[in-house]
Structure 1
Amino acid sequence: MASTSVSRVVPASPARVWELIGGFGSLPDWLPYIPESTFTEGGRVRHLKNPDGEVIVERLMAFDEEQRYYSYHILQAPFPVVDYLSTVRVHEISDDENAAEVQWFGRFVPVGATDEEVVDLFTGIYRDGLDALAETLGG
């Protein structure tokens, strides 16, 4: 099993960041790689489309409004992995109420690719996503 984690300080309070990213269907609001998100199963499964029209289907596994995180499992995607579980979490920064640390991490089993290739893939996705989030928030 392989894993990766990326974190980024963004220029907004934890509450504001969570308001933007905390909804399971909110990826199109801040992640340019995902322009479309629809739900099935009462909002527990999201169907995402990337700019190439590829479909990614993910199931919400855990959600905690108070702790500001959610975890999800990929059911279908154009990625060379199985057993993918990822979490997006917003942390407070003790000395700055107008900033937050956002962490995006995942674990997965590569299929048809090396651990290093898949770690590089998801590290890039997480990093680019958090960069886009910071830009959306004005930083």
Structure 2
Amino acid sequence: MASTSVSRIVPASPQRVWSLIGGFDALPDWLPYIPVSTALEGGRIRRLTDPDGAVIVERLLAFSEAERHYSYAILEAPFPVTGYVATLRVHPVAGRDDVAEVQWSGRFTPDGVTDAEVEELFTGIYRDGLDALHQALSV
């Protein structure tokens, strides 16, 4: 099993960050490469569409408003992995009310590729996503 984790300090309070990213169906609000998200099964499933029309279907596995995190699994996607589970989490930064740390981590089993190849793929996705979040919060 392969894994990766990326974190980034962003220019907003933990509550403001969570208000933007904490909804399982909220990716289009801050992630430009996911312009469409459709909530299914009462919000427990999200059907994402990227700008090229590729579809990713994910299931919410765990959610904590109080701890500001959620975990999800990929049910369908054009990625060369199985058993994908990821967590998006917002942490406070000690002594600071105006910034937060956001961590996006995942574990998965490569399918037809090496651990290093899928770790690089998802590290790039998470890094680019957190860069987009930083930009959205800087406006």
The TM tier, using the shorter chain, reads over 0.9
Give the structure 2 partner of residue 83 of structure 1: 83
Give the structure 1 partner of residue 21 of structure 2: 21
Shift of 1:40: 1.0
Q: How many residues align?
A: 139
* Structure 1 unaligned regions, length at least 5: none
**Partner amino acid for 1:39?**
A
Q: Secondary structure at the match of 1:124?
A: helix
* TM-score of the superposed pair, with normalisation by structure 1: 0.99
**Partner amino acid for 2:63?**
F
Runs of 4+ in 1 over 3 A off after TM superposition: none
Shift of 1:95: 1.4
Q: Secondary structure at the match of 1:99?
A: strand
The reply on whether 1:102 has 2:109 as its aligned counterpart is no
1 CA distance for matches of 2:46 and 2:69? Answer: 16
| Percentage of pairs with the same residue | 68
1 CA distance for matches of 2:50 and 2:121? Answer: 15
1:1-139 paired onto structure 2 within 5 Å = 1-138=1-138
Shift of 1:33: 0.9
Aligned CA RMSD, in angstroms, stands at 0.7
**Partner amino acid for 2:134?**
A
2 CA distance for matches of 1:90 and 1:38? Answer: 23
Shift of 1:42: 0.8
* Structure 2 unaligned regions, length at least 5: none
